[in-house]
Chain A
Amino acid sequence: DIQMTQFPSTLSASVGDRVTITCRASETINGWLAWYQQKPGKAPKLLIEKVSTLDSGVPSRFSGSGSETEFTLTISSLQPEDSAIYFCQQYKHYSSLTFGGGTKVEI
């Protein structure tokens, strides 16, 4: 299995801050990376697919970048409603999907 490592596990920031979360894969995943946002008591919600393609309705303050084994999710100007846990997921191996451990964003 491809292991996905996220860091930091928790970050605290203020409204308006630029926030970056990193996801590292144990091998190159050719850009097959998605990001999800999960709020307390809710299901995860797809934010980004294929490294940088925003899902429909996702605010433009969210962006994704990276290649090979290292990827980042950036929130350009943190908003109160962005308080959540964020997960990355690789899908290079179509038959074995794996997630990062999550990053909790506190405001």
Chain B
Amino acid sequence: GDSVTQMEGPVTLSEEAFLTINCTYTATGYPSLFWYVQYPGEGLQLLLKATKADDKGSNKGFEATYRKETTSFHLEKGSVQVSDSAVYFCALCRGSARQLTFGSGTQLTVLP
């Protein structure tokens, strides 16, 4: 079955540091890939997405590239802020199934 593997957390960075959160997936066909972010006490917010190989999703300084050859969708940001502290989830969805498969989430804490 489908699965998503994220790097273990928690991750603690200083403000303005570079962020990478690794995500790899297992799925048949060509899934769509997503990063969602969850702030304390809230639901999930869509951060970015990519629907086909070599697509780059980007939003609010975050980027991720759909790499079919390595089945990866790593999240990066060049300079993190304290306000980026949250839990980040990588997810996939195959075709029109409208069923997301999530990774376990990575807790990010950014210190001033």
Indicate whether A and B interact: no
Question: Which B residues are closer than 8 A to A by beta carbons?
Answer: none
Question: Which A residues are closer than 8 A to B by beta carbons?
Answer: none
